[in-house]
């Protein structure tokens, strides 16, 4: 029985690793970061989209609890507890993007990109529909993604000369999420009873990670539009001097 759980986690880790590899090898944003071609504007755009989806995470997490607490109070309690832990994290993303010198008075945060909304909409959907444990698939990769993300964060930090105090979102998350990751793992062990549960979780993990990858690329595409004066969404970022990625 323990073996079976281990097998399921191994399968889950494989899917996540291969999906991260898809993203890391094909992403133009990742390539730009690795080559030191990241501009402040591109970073700000990424953090704005991060701000957007992060602002929904506690809420869709809680909705998973609202939907499933009656049938499964242990899981419901986990969802609400976890939602409490995630509330307000978007403020860190906001702090970080403002700390780069963005002039808040001349800049209103634009509506999220379509790719960001696609991710957000999917996360609400899996929280309320279908297999009850799917939202755990998102948490599982999101809270153990720092091995993949940290090299990129370091690249951005070096290129833009940012201090740790300007990277509260990533620094704080890598600490907070370590405990969360263990709780998510424990909850998966307790709730997933059969192949159908594990498949549903794995599919939701892969899909939410892929949609995150698409959001990353959409940020890069929008930045190209901005450089070509074709981004109505981020036009307010243009007056500043930009280094083309």
Q: How far is the CB of 6 from a second copy (least distance, A)?
A: 20
127/159 with CB nearer a second copy: 127
Site string for a second copy, 134-173 (x = CB under 8 A): ----------------------------------------
Asked if 224 touches a second copy (CB under 8 A), the answer is no
Asked if 76 touches a second copy (CB under 8 A), the answer is yes
Q: 114 and 52 in contact (C-beta within 8 Å)?
A: no
21/125 with CB nearer a second copy: 125
How many chain residues interact with a second copy (CB under 8 A)?
39
63/102 with CB nearer a second copy: 63
Among 1, 70, 108, 163, contact with a second copy (rule: CB under 8 A): 70
131/159 with CB nearer a second copy: 131
Among 34, 37, 91, 95, contact with a second copy (rule: CB under 8 A): 91
Among 23, 29, 120, 192, contact with a second copy (rule: CB under 8 A): 120
Ordered DSSP codes for the chain: -HHHHHHHHHHHHHHHHHHHHHHHHH-HHHHHHHTT---HHHHHHHHHHHHHHHHHHHHHHHHHHHHHTTT-HHHHHHHHHHHHHHTTTHHHHHHHHHTTT--GGG-PPPPPPHHHHHHHHHHHHHHHSSSTTHHHHHHHHHTT-HHHHHHHHHHHHHHHT--GGG-HHHHHHHHHHHHHHHHHHHHHHHH--SHHHHHHHHHHHHHHHHHHHHHHHHHHHHHHHHHTT--SSSGGGTTS-----
Asked if 95 touches a second copy (CB under 8 A), the answer is no
Asked if 17 touches a second copy (CB under 8 A), the answer is no
Q: Which of 117, 118, 99, 97 is nearest to 109 (CA)?
A: 97
Q: Where does this chain bind a second copy (CB under 8 A)?
A: 55, 58-59, 62-63, 65-66, 69-70, 73-74, 76-77, 80-81, 83-84, 87-88, 91, 111, 114, 117-118, 120-122, 124-126, 129-130, 199, 203-204, 206-207, 211, 232
């Amino acid at each position: 029985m323990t073996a079976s759980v281990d097998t399921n986690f191994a399968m889950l880790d494989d899917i996540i690793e291969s999906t991260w590899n898809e993203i890391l090898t094909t992403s133009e944003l990742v390539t730009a970061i690795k080559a030191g071609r990241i501009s402040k504007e591109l970073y700000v755009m990424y953090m704005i989209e991060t701000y957007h989806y992060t602002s929904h995470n506690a809420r869709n997490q809680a909705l998973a609890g609202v939907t499933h607490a009656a049938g499964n109070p242990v899981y419901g309690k986990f969802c609400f507890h976890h939602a409490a832990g995630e509330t307000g994290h978007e403020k860190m993303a906001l702090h970080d993007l403002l700390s780069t010198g963005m002039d808040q008075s001349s800049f209103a945060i634009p509506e999220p990109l379509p790719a960001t909304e696609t991710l957000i909409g999917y996360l609400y959907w899996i929280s309320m529909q279908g297999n009850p444990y799917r939202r755990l698939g998102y948490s599982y990769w999101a809270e153990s993604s720092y091995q993949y993300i940290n090299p990129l964060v370091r690249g951005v930090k070096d290129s833009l000369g940012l201090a740790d105090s300007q990277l509260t979102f990533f620094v704080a998350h890598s600490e907070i999420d370590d405990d969360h990751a263990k709780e998510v793992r424990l909850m998966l062990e307790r709730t997933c009873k059969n192949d159908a549960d594990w498949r549903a979780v794995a599919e939701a993990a892969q899909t939410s990670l892929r949609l995150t990858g698409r959001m990353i690329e959409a940020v890069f595409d929008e930045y190209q539009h901005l450089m070509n004066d074709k981004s109505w969404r981020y036009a307010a970022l243009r007056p500043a001097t930009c280094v083309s990625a």
